[in-house]
Structure 1
Amino acid sequence: MKEQVIFFTIIMGFLISVLLSPIFIPFLRRLKFGQSIREEGPKSHQKKSGTPTMGGVMILFSIIITTLVMMGKYSDQIPMTTFLLIFVTFGFGLLGFLDDFIKVVLKRNLGLTSRQKLLGQIIISVIFYLIYKHTGLSTEIKLPFGDYSIDLGWSYVFFIIFWLVGFSNAVNLTDGLDGLVSGTAAIAFGAFAVLAWNQNNFEIAVFSVAVVGAVLGFLVFNAHPAKVFMGDTGSLALGGAIAGIAILTKLEILLIIIGGVFVIETLSVILQVASFKTTGKRIFRMSPLHHHYELVGWSEWRVVVTFWSVGLIFAILGIYIEVWL
């Protein structure tokens, strides 16, 4: 029974995204919700200007509908863990939607200010923590390579804020090439689906495969050359969702490995900024890291496939560490 639910969940998530896209993409075009390309980015990206963005709405719709329908068939009421994941995904997605809306409709290319975005992320994270704490869930952090854990107690709220804000921004930074985040997210969420299943966390496994199905369906239209971009609506939502899953499965630290591509992309930006401010020199030709490889001469598709492959290696490593070590 549970295996069937998992199978039909990923199929349903995929089909909703695939069937919704041919309707939603022309709608975005008619509304002139096209991506504005920053002039300081790679010159090859200028031809992408005008490609419909805010496609993350389709991903959000697919994830939420699929999760609610499949959990409704399995259970009489929605478990609190499922509610928390839907809340954090929708919350960060809504914040991303506001950012995208300001960019494409109000024609402010940078969207929300960094302070506005950070404040919104913190508010969502604190609400997540309050619901989490009220439910009586653990404030311990499990350490990899053994049965060791650390109870952070009241300070766990700061960890949750850091993790949700950090990974939502990390996935957002990674979203710079056609299909890059869609593929790496499918791999990372697939890994957490396996780990949640291994823990008998069926509700979280269902949510995870709902995300896998949704992003794979989106990838059909987001692969190079992309017909639609997910925008901050999708990338912030996916980042918040994967951090939320890591918290609820008590695999917070393992997310650093499974989400290794997102971590490396973020570190490349931090190192680039730190190096330029302290020495006046850049480490990479451009950050995040995927742009560096573009400027080295790699094709966009080669960069994306390479990053997918690295993400798959990280995902397998994370599963191996948790299940077999």
Structure 2
Amino acid sequence: MYHRYGLRFTLRLLTVCSYCSMYSTSFKILFIIWDVKVNKSIHLVVSKILYVLSFLLSFLIVYFLIPPLGKLAFRLDFVDKPRADNERKIHRQPIPLTASYAIFTGFFVSYLLFTRDFSWETGALFGGGLLLLAIGTVDDWYKTKGRDFPALPKLIVQVSAAVLVYFAGIQFNGFVNPLSGQYVFLPEWLQFILTILWIFGVTTVVNFSDGLDGLAGGLSAISAVTLFVVAVTKGQTNSAMLSITLIGVTLAYLRYNKPPAKVFMGDAGATFLGFMLAVIALDGAFKQATVLSLFIPVLALGVPIFDNLFVVIKRMMEGKSPYQADASQVHYRLLRAGFSQKQAVVVLYLVSTCLGLSSIILLLLQT
């Protein structure tokens, strides 16, 4: 049964990819011709079609990959087991930890297929994402055995992924002076520090937010929608394509991760989503930003950033490691206050949506 299902999925996926690749190539040719000879509005129509196709393909890949990967997880005992002595383990039955591989595959297959972008920047995204997927897999494997993976290797790998992206040219360079209107370039050492801190920080806080069914995936989807709107408004096609592809994979994942969850993405998936959101912000919202509009990506990722910033400060004041897992995040506090898991998730979705809308309003005020 498993092999028949896998074969049917493979054939369907190859068919979809073939058609999409054909249409993508056609659109690219038209894109080049029209860019020179025809109105720019047609240029925008082609971009919108590519956005839709990338969204659909990324969604379908994740949607169809998760079930067979889940079955494989049970065969390999790569599942998150419930534990009565752990307040953070809310589920009551073993859950596969394999959604991250579907998310990673769906994202890069779709993005590369519709952009044909094999630049150093894309290579850094792929390499950084692969590093996080690998160390996250090791971390998740430790969890399946009821053990904790040391924090230092994770920190080293996450910083390495951020450094890889920085040297590929995706970095925070400066801001527009609101008084003179001129762009202020920061010293290179400060560019490096701020870029690494941003990528590492967002990667970490999104991972820390993965505590309830549907929470991290939903917050990532809302943030990606916000960053997509920002990118389209600013005419940043690459950032928009990254965002819409991320929306596709997260929504497909939520189909299986909504309460009660049938699959988890684990640390491997959560760190990958955080990494991609951080990079999208650097590639889009932070570019040519004024001092005020620097808050746009911060608001877009507001719930995980503000919540976990508070948690990290609290842990450090108590003499604990920032990586020490506990139940101090806002979603656990909502559960202790009497909210159900679904209610807590919906509340945080609403807060994230409000922050996202605030960032869009802030953007419109700047244009």
Residue of structure 1 equivalent to 2:69: 24
Q: Secondary structure, in 3 states, of the residue corresponding to 2:95?
A: coil
Picking from 91, 111, 115, the partner of 1:67 is 111
Letter in 1 for 2:152: R
Residue of structure 2 equivalent to 1:168: 203
- Provide Cα deviations, 1:163-186, integer angstroms capped at 9, x if missing partner: 111111100000000000111111
Identity, % of aligned positions: 24
Residue of structure 2 equivalent to 1:122: 159
Residue of structure 1 equivalent to 2:345: 304
Letter in 1 for 2:250: V
The TM-score with structure 1 as length reference comes to: 0.86
Letter in 1 for 2:296: L
Q: In the TM superposition, what is the alpha-carbon distance from 1:206 to its structure 2 partner?
A: 1.0
Letter in 1 for 2:221: A
Letter in 2 for 1:110: D
Structure 1 stretches of 5 or more lacking a match? 279-284
Does structure 2 conserve the Cα–Cα contact (< 8 Å) formed by 1:272 and 1:287? no
Picking from 27, 37, 50, the partner of 1:5 is 50
- Provide Cα deviations, 1:254-290, integer angstroms capped at 9, x if missing partner: 3221100111221231243245459xxxxxx941111
CA distance 1:305–1:89, shift in 2 (3 Å):
same
Q: Distance in 2 between matches of 1:43 and 1:201?
A: 39
Structure 2 counterparts to residues 70-89 of structure 1, below 5 A? 70-72=114-116, 77-89=117-129
Q: Distance in 1 between matches of 2:272 and 2:252?
A: 16
Structure 2 counterparts to residues 24-103 of structure 1, below 5 A? 24-37=69-82, 41-42=86-87, 45=90, 47-48=92-93, 50-72=94-116, 77-103=117-143
The TM-score with structure 2 as length reference comes to: 0.77
Q: What is the RMSD of the two structures over their aligned residues, measured on CA atoms?
A: 2.6
Which 10-residue stretch deviates more, 293-302 or 267-276? 267-276
Which 10-residue stretch deviates more, 174-183 or 20-29? 20-29
Q: Distance in 2 between matches of 1:302 and 1:143?
A: 43
Q: In the TM superposition, what is the alpha-carbon distance from 1:56 to its structure 2 partner?
A: 1.1
Picking from 193, 197, 203, the partner of 2:232 is 197
Picking from 232, 249, 253, the partner of 1:214 is 249
Q: Distance in 1 between matches of 2:68 and 2:177?
A: 45
CA distance 1:146–1:57, shift in 2 (3 Å):
farther
CA distance 1:131–1:176, shift in 2 (3 Å):
same
CA distance 1:201–1:80, shift in 2 (3 Å):
farther
Letter in 2 for 1:35: D
Structure 2 counterparts to residues 152-167 of structure 1, below 5 A? 152-155=186-189, 156-167=191-202
Letter in 2 for 1:289: V
Higher normalized contact order (CA 8 Å, seq sep 6+, divided by chain length): 1
Does structure 2 conserve the Cα–Cα contact (< 8 Å) formed by 1:36 and 1:109? no
- Provide Cα deviations, 1:189-242, integer angstroms capped at 9, x if missing partner: 111111112222212211111110001001000000000011011110011111
Picking from 147, 165, 175, the partner of 1:109 is 147
Q: In the TM superposition, what is the alpha-carbon distance from 1:37 to its structure 2 partner?
A: 4.6
Picking from 173, 177, 183, the partner of 1:139 is 173
Q: In the TM superposition, what is the alpha-carbon distance from 1:44 to its structure 2 partner?
A: 7.0
Which 10-residue stretch deviates more, 247-256 or 225-234? 247-256
Q: Distance in 1 between matches of 2:148 and 2:203?
A: 17
Q: Secondary structure, in 3 states, of the residue corresponding to 1:132?
A: coil
The answer as to 2:213 corresponding to 1:178 is yes
Structure 2 stretches of 5 or more lacking a match? 1-45, 287-293, 321-325
Q: Distance in 1 between matches of 2:85 and 2:194?
A: 34
Q: Secondary structure, in 3 states, of the residue corresponding to 1:324?
A: helix
Q: Secondary structure, in 3 states, of the residue corresponding to 2:90?
A: helix
The answer as to 2:230 corresponding to 1:188 is no
Residue of structure 1 equivalent to 2:33: none
Q: Distance in 2 between matches of 1:5 and 1:289?
A: 38
The answer as to 2:304 corresponding to 1:262 is yes
Q: Distance in 1 between matches of 2:211 and 2:179?
A: 34
Q: Distance in 2 between matches of 1:53 and 1:103?
A: 10
Q: Distance in 1 between matches of 2:152 and 2:177?
A: 32
Residue of structure 2 equivalent to 1:324: 365
CA distance 1:199–1:91, shift in 2 (3 Å):
farther
- Provide Cα deviations, 1:118-168, integer angstroms capped at 9, x if missing partner: 1111122122211217xxx77224689996764222121111111111111
Which 10-residue stretch deviates more, 38-47 or 190-199? 38-47
